């Protein structure tokens, strides 16, 4: 079976700094794959290259056999690859539900006249979007806050909203950059369940950056380890856990 | 006990002295060897010292006065709210109908001058609402908005000279201004924040300079005069038939001529245009494009990560905003009967921007309120006309201190979920 996403020789250079050096990874359908590594290893930079926010210096990114490198960020998102950010990036002054409506922009009826005249087709598309947003609000347990300003939510809720906002774009690949950072243990548990639910019931593939090893080891199908921009190891969680090099560079002795 | 702000007060006073001292404290006197600097006369020095004392005292007492105020403001949130259409449709409709009825009846009861002023106010309302789309909603600081206003005005003035009627020209003027917005938007919208502001400022000036120098087309600094007034289905409001109309208003209805009719007619037309503008922008706000504008203002990177093309979203805001300026411009030309590049200087852009900021970015009612304040206040305080810009500046400073969010900040449209509605 061909992988959904295949990355080869990805390299990103900032002046003299080689932030990402020859990284390769692949992601199959309905898989959770994690990228781990010490701070400053270049994990977020890999994400930025994959989602078109940086233009990689070299390398190939194939999504269903189609080359993505060089496409703009919004074009890649439209193909079904969306991400969250290490620092939450919600539309803070807009309500929770509006955040989810904006994300569905390209699935909506954006015809100017249809909107001005409130044609039946327009109303239908808006109410469909609302229903879909509601479905996801329910899933991330934020329904009662639908009309609250996104910026006023608690931190954990903001993180969940960010995931929901990605999901309403109907993605195939969801990329999460440290989704558990700043969450309490209960919230981390919920996040664990949510990601498994996304993979099993919503059939998205998840690419995950995370420092919480319990979470990573528990849900990952495969793990890639990056260190100082270079790939260090990859494999199943148990292989990674026992890999002496990974222990030395990142995990430390338990 | 709040601490007095002594060092801050001293610094401010010295700064003030350095800045104002040049203007007030020193005088140039002709002498045998040319010009000679001399200390200003007593009157000016007195003013200088009063100014310094005022700056010193206000800075010194600032923490005492404003410290408490801030604490109060944060403990008690601003509670006055207009009923929103979704939450309380009945109250909303009632308020709107009353306001509209009052606005329609009002001109028949007041003097000609008041109606005229109100018409001018309505033009600014239209401009404010249009710029609000660009600045308040999409977050693009546009300092050259007056350029599109000028395009609209000149489009009507030039077309009407070729015999086109007002109602025909209105959409053309809007479209023309929108086209300009689109063309100018293309290269500049890659820029961000301050850079965008500077480039748009430049474009506004370029348009004005073009109008000044394309003499064969625009009449240059002399402008274009005797632009025909709009007609009511072909009825003119002049004493005698002048233009394309088939009859005059008073003759058609068999009443005696009264110049008041024309003024009221223009007012009602401006009101109609404003109401249309409000309705359209209200719809836009609840459409995907309106939400995309705001999302863009909030976070452009997040927008891109969700598949929104920032350039397209910005361009629509810029174009639509420019279109409204075009409508306002063509009406302005029709009302005035005469336009020249003088009417479209940077200060107009600044006033329109001030209206948006004063009203509360994104808020329509706020913008309307601010437009009224900005046009009516200077009229009421005519004696202080020379200090108009000074008062304008003071008002902006006080607004920034007291209510940086504007008079009536925008409230979010409430969106009802289906199950909530049932429950
Ligand atoms: N735009 C940029 N310009 C210059 N250097 C950058 C840029 N972005 C990232 N870097 C550098 O690239 C390196 C990798 O950063 P990156 O953010 O990818 O690390 P990370 O693995 O995500 O770390 P963390 O776990 O702390 O999030 C760092 O040294 C960082 O300073
Ligand atoms: Mg990172």
- Mutation choice for B interface testing from A71, A74, A87, A168 by most B CBs within 10 A: A74
Q: Is residue B272 part of a domain?
A: yes
In this structure, are B23 and B102 located in the same domain? no
The two structure tokens encoding residue B64: 């005492």
Q: Is A15 in the pocket of ligand 1 (CB under 6 A)?
A: no
CA distances A3 to A28, A31, A83, B344, Å, are: 5, 10, 19, 61
Interchain proximity B417–A116, CB inside 8 Å: no
> Model confidence at A69, in pLDDT bands (50, 70, 90)?
confident
CA distances B15 to B11, B51, B54, B55, B64, Å, are: 6, 12, 13, 10, 22
Rounded to the nearest angstrom, the minimum Cα separation between B387 and chain A is 37
CB hemisphere CA count around B286 (13 angstroms):
24
- Do residues B279 and B130 touch, judged by C-beta distance below 8 A? no
The residue whose CA is least distant from atom 31 of ligand 1 is A40
- Do residues A205 and A29 touch, judged by C-beta distance below 8 A? yes
Taking alpha carbons only, the member of A171, A89, A126 closest to residue B296 is: A89
Q: CB distance from A74 to chain B under 8 Å?
A: yes
| Lowest-pLDDT range of A204-213, B137-146, B377-386 | B377-386
Q: Is A160 in the pocket of ligand 1 (CB under 6 A)?
A: no
Among positive and negative, which fits the CA dihedral B137, B143, B149, B151? negative
Interface of B with A in 290-309 (CB under 8 A): 291-292, 294-295, 298-299, 301-309
Interchain proximity B301–A53, CB inside 8 Å: yes
For residue B88, the tally of other CB atoms under 10 A from its CB is 14
* pLDDT at B121 (0 to 100): 93
β-strand partners of A11 = A58
**Whole-number Å distance between alpha carbons of A238 and A222:** 10
Chain B: residue whose CA lies nearest to A52: B305
pLDDT digits (tens, 9 = 90+) for B107-140: 888 888 888 899 999 999 999 999 999 999 999 9
* pLDDT at B87 (0 to 100): 66
In this structure, are B209 and B306 located in the same domain? yes
Angle (nearest 5°) at CA A47 between A12 and A154 = 140
**Whole-number Å distance between alpha carbons of A207 and A185:** 21
For residue A18, give the ligand nearest its CA.
1
Name the domain count of chain B.
Answer: 2
Mutation test of ligand 1: which of A43, A49, A50 has the most ligand atoms closer than 8 Å to its C-beta?
A: A43
> E strands, B154-281, where?
235-236, 247-248
**Whole-number Å distance between alpha carbons of B316 and B309:** 11
**Whole-number Å distance between alpha carbons of A95 and A205:** 28
- Do residues A166 and A103 touch, judged by C-beta distance below 8 A? yes
- Among B288, B305, B309, select the one facing A83 at the smallest CB separation: B305
Task: Using an 8 Å CB-CB cutoff, list chain B residues near A93.
Answer: 294, 298
End-to-end CA distance of chain B: 52
- Do residues A146 and B417 touch, judged by C-beta distance below 8 A? yes
- Specify the CATH number for the domain of residue B388: 1.10.3470
**DSSP codes joined into one string, B97-149:** HHHHHHHHHGGGTS-HHHHHHHHHHHHHHHHHHHHIIIIIIS----S-HHHHH
**Whole-number Å distance between alpha carbons of A44 and A180:** 15
For the segment A219-233, the average pLDDT, to the nearest whole number, is: 92
- Do residues A57 and A34 touch, judged by C-beta distance below 8 A? no
The residue whose CA is least distant from atom 17 of ligand 1 is A44
Selection from B9-23, B188-202, B306-320 with the highest mean pLDDT: B306-320
Assigned superfamily of A1-80+172-254: P-loop containing nucleotide triphosphate hydrolases (3.40.50.300)
Q: Residue A226 CA: which ligand 1 atom is closest?
A: 21
Percent of chain B with pLDDT over 70: 87
- Do residues A167 and A198 touch, judged by C-beta distance below 8 A? yes
Decide if pLDDT at B163 tops 50. Answer: yes
CA distances B376 to B111, B116, B360, Å, are: 15, 11, 18
Rounded to 10°, the helix A155-167/A185-201 angle is 10
Q: CB distance from B412 to chain A under 8 Å?
A: yes
Residues in chain B: 423
Decide if pLDDT at A47 tops 70. Answer: yes
Q: Is A42 in the pocket of ligand 1 (CB under 6 A)?
A: yes
For residue A250, the tally of other CB atoms under 10 A from its CB is 21
| Domain enclosing residue B274, as ranges | 87-222+264-402
| Residues in CB range of B256: below 8 A, 6 or more apart | B250
Decide if pLDDT at A125 tops 80. Answer: yes
**Whole-number Å distance between alpha carbons of A89 and A86:** 9
Burial of A24 (0-12, 13-18, 19+ CB in 10 A): middle
* pLDDT at B73 (0 to 100): 44
Task: Using an 8 Å CB-CB cutoff, list chain A residues near B308.
Answer: 74, 102, 105-106
In this structure, are B148 and B93 located in the same domain? yes
Which has the higher per-residue pLDDT, B188 or A134?
A: A134
* pLDDT at A142 (0 to 100): 93
pLDDT digits (tens, 9 = 90+) for B321-365: 999 999 999 999 999 889 999 889 988 898 899 899 888 877 888
pLDDT digits (tens, 9 = 90+) for B66-81: 665 544 444 444 444 5
Task: Using an 8 Å CB-CB cutoff, list chain B residues near A103.
Answer: 306
For the segment A223-247, the average pLDDT, to the nearest whole number, is: 90
For the segment A47-56, the average pLDDT, to the nearest whole number, is: 94
* pLDDT at B223 (0 to 100): 86
Q: Is A14 in the pocket of ligand 1 (CB under 6 A)?
A: yes
In this structure, are B24 and B144 located in the same domain? no
Rounded to the nearest angstrom, the minimum Cα separation between B134 and chain A is 17
Give CA B163 to chain center in angstroms.
Answer: 31
Interface of A with B in 29-68 (CB under 8 A): 51-53
φ and ψ at A10, to 5 degrees?
Answer: -65, 125
In this structure, are B24 and B91 located in the same domain? no
The residue whose CA is least distant from atom 5 of ligand 1 is A14
CB hemisphere CA count around A21 (13 angstroms):
13
pLDDT digits (tens, 9 = 90+) for A90-108: 999 999 999 999 999 988 8
For the segment B239-265, the average pLDDT, to the nearest whole number, is: 71
CA distances B17 to B7, B11, B118, B391, Å, are: 15, 10, 41, 21
In this structure, are B167 and B112 located in the same domain? yes
Q: Is residue B73 part of a domain?
A: no
In 3-state terms, what secondary structure has residue B416? coil
- Do residues A213 and A226 touch, judged by C-beta distance below 8 A? no
- Mutation choice for A interface testing from B87, B175, B304, B305 by most A CBs within 10 A: B305
In this structure, are B284 and B158 located in the same domain? yes
Decide if pLDDT at B252 tops 80. Answer: no
**Whole-number Å distance between alpha carbons of A98 and A186:** 27
In 3-state terms, what secondary structure has residue A67? strand
For residue B134, the tally of other CB atoms under 10 A from its CB is 29
For residue B79, the tally of other CB atoms under 10 A from its CB is 5
Chain A: residue whose CA lies nearest to B293: A102
**Whole-number Å distance between alpha carbons of A69 and A56:** 7
- Do residues A103 and B306 touch, judged by C-beta distance below 8 A? yes
Percent of chain B with pLDDT over 90: 33
Chain A: residue whose CA lies nearest to B281: A116
In this structure, are B212 and B155 located in the same domain? yes
- Do residues B257 and B239 touch, judged by C-beta distance below 8 A? yes
Q: Is residue B80 part of a domain?
A: no
pTM listed for this prediction:
0.83
For the segment B88-116, the average pLDDT, to the nearest whole number, is: 83
Between β-strands A222-227 and A32-36, what pairing exists: parallel, antiparallel or unpaired?
Answer: parallel
Task: Using an 8 Å CB-CB cutoff, list chain B residues near A165.
Answer: 306
For residue A37, the tally of other CB atoms under 10 A from its CB is 23
> Model confidence at B241, in pLDDT bands (50, 70, 90)?
low
* pLDDT at B422 (0 to 100): 41
- Do residues B189 and B312 touch, judged by C-beta distance below 8 A? no
- Among B284, B413, B415, select the one facing A146 at the smallest CB separation: B415
> Model confidence at B244, in pLDDT bands (50, 70, 90)?
low
Q: If you count residue pairs, one on A and one on B, with CB atoms under 8 Å apart, how many are there? A: 117
Q: If you average pLDDT over every residue of chain B, what do you get?
A: 83
Q: Is residue B6 part of a domain?
A: yes
φ and ψ at B91, to 5 degrees?
Answer: -60, -40
Rounded to the nearest angstrom, the minimum Cα separation between A238 and chain B is 33
Give me the residue spans of the domains in chain A.
Answer: 1-80+172-254, 90-170
Taking alpha carbons only, the member of A31, A27, A94, A98 closest to residue A62 is: A27
């Amino acid at each position: 079976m061909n992988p959904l996403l295949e990355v080869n020789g990805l390299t990103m250079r900032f002046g003299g700094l080689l932030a990402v050096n020859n990284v390769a990874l692949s992601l199959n359908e309905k898989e959770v794959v994690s990228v781990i590594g010490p701070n400053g290893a270049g994990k977020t930079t890999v994400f930025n290259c994959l989602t078109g926010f940086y233009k990689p210096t070299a390398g190939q990114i194939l999504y269903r056999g189609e080359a993505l490198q060089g496409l703009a960020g919004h074009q890649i998102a439209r193909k079904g690859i969306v991400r969250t950010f290490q620092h939450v990036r919600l539309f803070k002054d807009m309500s929770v539900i509006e955040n989810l409506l904006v994300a569905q922009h390209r699935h909506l009826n954006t015809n100017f006249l249809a909107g001005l005249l409130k044609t039946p087709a327009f109303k239908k598309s808006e109410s469909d979007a609302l229903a879909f947003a509601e479905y996801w609000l329910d899933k991330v347990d934020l329904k009662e806050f639908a009309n609250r300003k996104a910026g006023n939510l608690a931190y954990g809720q903001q993180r969940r909203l960010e995931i929901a906002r990605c999901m309403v774009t109907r993605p195939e690949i969801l990329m999460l950059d440290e989704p558990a950072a700043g969450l309490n243990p209960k919230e981390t548990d919920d996040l664990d369940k949510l990601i498994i639910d996304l993979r099993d019931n919503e059939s998205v593939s998840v690419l995950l950056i995370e420092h919480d090893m319990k979470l990573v080891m528990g849900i990952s199908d495969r793990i890639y380890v990056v260190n100082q921009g270079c790939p260090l190891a990859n494999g199943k969680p148990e292989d990674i856990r026992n890999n002496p090099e990974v222990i030395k560079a990142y995990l430390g002795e338990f | 006990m709040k601490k007095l702000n002594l060092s801050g007060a001293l610094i401010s006073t010295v700064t003030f002295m350095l800045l104002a001292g040049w203007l007030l404290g020193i005088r140039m006197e002709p002498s045998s060897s040319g010009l000679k600097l001399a200390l200003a006369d007593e009157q000016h020095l007195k003013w200088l010292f009063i100014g310094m004392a005022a700056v010193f005292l206000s800075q010194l007492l600032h923490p005492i006065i404003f410290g408490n105020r801030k604490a109060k403001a944060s403990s008690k949130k601003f509670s006055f709210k207009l009923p929103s259409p979704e939450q309380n449709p009945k109250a909303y409709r009632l308020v709107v109908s009353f306001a509209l009825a009052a606005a329609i009846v009002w001109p028949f009861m007041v003097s000609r001058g008041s109606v005229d002023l109100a018409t001018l106010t309505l033009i600014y309302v239209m401009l404010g609402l249009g710029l609000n789309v660009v600045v308040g909603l999409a977050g693009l600081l546009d300092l050259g908005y007056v350029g599109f206003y000028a395009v609209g005005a000149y489009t009507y003035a030039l077309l009407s000279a070729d015999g086109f009627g007002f109602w025909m020209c209105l959409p053309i003027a809007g479209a023309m201004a929108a086209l300009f917005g689109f063309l100018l938007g293309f290269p500049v919208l890659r820029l961000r924040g301050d850079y965008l502001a500077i480039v748009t400022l430049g474009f506004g000036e370029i348009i004005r300079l073009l109008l000044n120098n394309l003499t064969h087309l625009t009449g240059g600094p002399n402008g274009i005069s005797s632009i025909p007034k709009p007609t009511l289905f072909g009825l003119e409001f002049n004493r005698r038939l002048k233009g394309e109309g088939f009859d005059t208003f008073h003759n058609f209805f068999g009443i005696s001529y009264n110049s008041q009719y024309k003024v009221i007619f223009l007012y009602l037309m401006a009101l109609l245009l404003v109401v249309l503008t409000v309705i359209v922008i209200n719809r836009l706000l609840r459409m995907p494009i309106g939400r995309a504008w705001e999302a863009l203002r909030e976070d452009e990177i997040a927008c891109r990560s969700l598949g929104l093309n920032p350039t397209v979203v910005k361009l629509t805001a810029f174009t639509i905003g420019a279109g409204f300026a075009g409508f306002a411009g063509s009406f302005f030309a029709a009302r005035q009967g005469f336009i020249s590049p003088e009417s479209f200087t940077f200060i107009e852009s600044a006033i329109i921007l001030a209206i948006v900021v004063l009203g509360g970015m994104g808020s329509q009612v706020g913008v309307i309120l601010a437009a009224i304040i900005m046009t009516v206040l200077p009229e009421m305080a005519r004696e202080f006309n020379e200090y108009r810009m000074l008062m304008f500046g003071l008002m902006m400073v006080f607004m920034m201190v007291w209510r940086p969010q504007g008079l009536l900040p925008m409230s979010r449209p409430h969106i009802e979920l289906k199950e909530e509605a049932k429950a």
